[in-house]
Amino acid sequence: MSLTWSRLENVPLLDLIGRGETRHTEFKRLVHSPEKIAKSIVAFANTEGGTILIGVDDDRRITGIHSEKEMLEVIYEAIRLHVEPRVPIETEAVEYKKRLLLMVHVPESSLKPHYHVANEREPDGRGEVRVKKVYTREESHNRLATADRVCLMESSGTPIRLSFGPEEKMLLEYLETHRSITAREFSSLAGIPLQKAMETLVALVRSGTVLLSTEGRQSRYRL
């Protein structure tokens, strides 16, 4: 049975660990890098929320942490420096057989997309550039979101603007005989700019006319 993040809050600790890492749960033995933990916080906030258990190994062993204060410093530095806009989290210290664990509860955000911000070395190796990326949670992994997913998140706070003109009719006729289409394929089919094609497809997703699915690094639309 799949559980939502809000219901996970009421699951006993050992049951939660026993389920293993999922769409809503991630284990961390320790947290040293603010940049790395920020990626998980962003992914949970951009999807359905989740809980990060610090002091639990990948094999579900409870290893515990030495310092709650040290872990909290890393987490709040991650939010301050590597998450835009910031995500409001809740933390909870739990003790099991004299071993201390830290639970970081990340709610699903209404301010999507949240960006993971980090410095990356430029291709010529001469310096660094500040890069912003969007991650989502898929199964038990954090995945880089496609441009289509980001466009859908960005549009979620605005009214749906949808008209069934020639492009939309052409798209629906195409999907009646073909399994799916990408934004680039629709752009070529309708003879419109890629950005307009993506915005049209996203509006149709929000209206419930078509579905958006991600296959590897590619987003496809289908009836």
The answer to whether the beta carbons of residues 23 and 48 sit under 8 Å apart is: yes
The answer to whether the beta carbons of residues 83 and 42 sit under 8 Å apart is: yes
Strand partners, 32: none
Q: CATH classification of 5-145, choosing from 1.10.730.10, 3.40.50.300, 3.30.9.30, 3.30.950.30?
A: 3.30.950.30
pLDDT at position 68, please? Answer: 94
pLDDT at position 2, please? Answer: 45
pLDDT at position 7, please? Answer: 47
pLDDT at position 15, please? Answer: 87
Give me the architecture of the 153-222 domain, per CATH.
Orthogonal Bundle (1.10)
pLDDT at position 165, please? Answer: 87
- Listed residue (198, 50, 38) closest to 115, CA to CA: 38
pLDDT at position 9, please? Answer: 56
Domain definitions of the chain by residue range: 5-145, 153-222
Mean pLDDT per block of 10 residues along the chain (223 residues) reads 48 85 94 95 96 94 94 96 96 91 94 93 80 94 93 84 85 94 95 93 91 86 93
Contacts of 163 (CB under 8 A, 6+ apart): none
Domains 5-145 and 153-222 share a fold: no
pLDDT at position 10, please? Answer: 56
pLDDT at position 124, please? Answer: 75
Amino acid in the structure at residue 63 = T
pLDDT at position 120, please? Answer: 83
* Cα-based distances in Å from 57 to 21, 36, 63, 66: 10, 16, 7, 14
